[in-house]
Amino acid sequence: MLVLALRSVRQRPGRLLATLLSAFLGAAIIMTFNSLHDTAGQPGVDSVSAETLTTSASVVGGYGTLLVFFAVASTLTVNVRQRSAELELLRCSGATPAQIKRMVVGEAVVVALAGAALAIGPAMLGGHALLGVFQDSGQVADSVDYAFGPVALVSGVDITLVAAAGAAFLAVRRATRPAVRRGRARTFLAYGALVAGAVSVTTTFAFSATDAALMAAPAYGAILLSVGLAMLAPRLLNGLLAGLSLTGASGWLAVRTLRRRVEHVSGILMSLVLFTAVSTATLTMQSVESDAVAASGLRKSVDAKNLETLNLTVVGIIAVFVCVMLVNSLYAATTYRGGEFGRQRLAGATPGQVLGTVGVETAVLTAVGVLLGSVAALAGIVPFTMVRTDGVLPGQAPGIWLAVSSVAAAVTLGTSLGTARRALRTPAVAAVATVA
């Protein structure tokens, strides 16, 4: 079956590109941050430099890892689901569920390994640049040399592999056993993430205002909460759709289509919720932190400015990563719908109506995703602000939230409409025929 997996990878490199891209980006991010551990672990590095490096590797690398894990997993889930027809065909030609599982998981492992291998070079460059930023800000001694070692390599490869193989395993199990409803495990995981997130957010209060790692607890908490909420999102979406009635052909079709596709869009919702939560939470916390430093008047110097730049760089990398994952999974999901669009067109939908339907669907998704992400972000921001300053909600929060939501809406709508537009270039009759 592994031979079949390899052959299957070779036969359709294009369709696996989305998975490869997410594995590559995920591994690159993890390796970049974890190589700071390797750098700090070298003999001859002074303790201050080592501590700075280890702290940022643990804080940012830690929640970065969590993010990468869920982002890779959700992209892979989208991809495996698209192949249900192919898997069904394999099953009909005599493949046992175990064989199919081995093929899909084997394929995911091959792609994840390729992605991780490709990521080593860029991660080295990225880590080098990151160390440079630390050194420019004076937090790390200039004498420290960059090192890319076992911690970066092992963590990068392992996490990408586990995320890819785990997601493929779960997705293929769902695909090969359509009758089994596995709501309970999902609910359990979702509530687990919510509880863990709540605990993490609450521990913020155990830190003092000037602790270097103060931001870690609420940031972890916000991400865990967003994961939990994202897992429950399909249910919420279901509830919303049951009561939602839109007029116009596009609205009517969009609501009815979404009701049946809730399971399919859960991966996209996950990316959307994560993006909103992570970007809003970390950017707001950073801006609160910067203001607090400025207000204390202690180090209103070049150093403080540099530190802010450094933190924003790190947050930016993570936000861009999640954004790319969102585009990636949306693109994969929309490309796959060419056949469905073809059937709509043959039933009398103009290209404009098809795009209108996609637009309405995406708008509903964006609204739900941004709402849940905002709730998770708020749960992280409020405790942090309370500990760091005297206030509850920082004044910059609405502005940052608005900016993040606008980016989320623009990216989501832009990707799905752009991809749908491209899918519409294929004549309807051909679109219906080609997608099996």
Partner 1 sequence: MFRTGSRGTHDTGPAAEALRLVKVTKTYGGGDSEVTALDGITLSLSRGSFTAVMGPSGSGKSTLLQCAAGLDRPDSGIVVVDGAEMTGSGEAELTRFRRSRVGFVFQQYNLLDTLTVVQNTVLPLKLAGRRVDRRRAREILTAVGLGDRLGHRPDQLSGGQRQRVAIARALVTEPRVIFADEPTGALDSRSAREVLRLLQEAVRVHGRTVVMVTHDPVAASYADSVLFLADGRLAGHLHAPTADAVAERLAHLGDDVPAGV
Which residues form the interface with partner 1 (CB under 8 A)?
A: 249, 252-253, 256-257, 259-261, 340, 342-353, 424, 427-429, 432-433
User: CB 174 → partner 1: shortest distance, Å?
Assistant: 16
Distances (CA, A) of 236 to 15, 228, 232, 292, 368: 31, 12, 7, 37, 8
Residue among 14, 19, 189, 231 at smallest CA distance from 104: 19
Closest CB to partner 1 among 117 and 432? Answer: 432
DSSP letter at 144 equals P
- Both structure tokens of 400: 């940052």
User: CB 240 → partner 1: shortest distance, Å?
Assistant: 17
Distances (CA, A) of 258 to 152, 250, 265, 266, 412: 41, 12, 8, 11, 16
Closest CB to partner 1 among 182 and 259? Answer: 259
- Both structure tokens of 222: 């916000």
User: CB 247 → partner 1: shortest distance, Å?
Assistant: 11
User: CB 168 → partner 1: shortest distance, Å?
Assistant: 24
Q: Whole-angstrom Cα distance, residue 106 to residue 69?
A: 18
User: CB 343 → partner 1: shortest distance, Å?
Assistant: 5
CA atoms within 13 Å, Cβ hemisphere of 419: 21
Closest CB to partner 1 among 278 and 424? Answer: 424
* Burial label, 337 (beta-carbon count in 10 A; 0-12, 13-18, 19+): buried
Closest CB to partner 1 among 162 and 262? Answer: 262
DSSP conformation letters of 350-419? -HHHHHHHHHHHHHHHHHHHHHHHHHHHHHHHHHHHHHHSS-SS-TTHHHHHHHHHHHHHHHHHHHHHHH
User: CB 123 → partner 1: shortest distance, Å?
Assistant: 42
Closest CB to partner 1 among 121 and 352? Answer: 352
User: CB 352 → partner 1: shortest distance, Å?
Assistant: 6
Closest CB to partner 1 among 274 and 428? Answer: 428
User: CB 326 → partner 1: shortest distance, Å?
Assistant: 23
Closest CB to partner 1 among 264 and 305? Answer: 264
For residue 206, give every residue at least 6 positions away whose Cβ sits within 8 Å of its Cβ, in sequence order, or none.
Answer: 217
Contact 338, 426 (CB under 8 A): yes
Closest CB to partner 1 among 224 and 253? Answer: 253
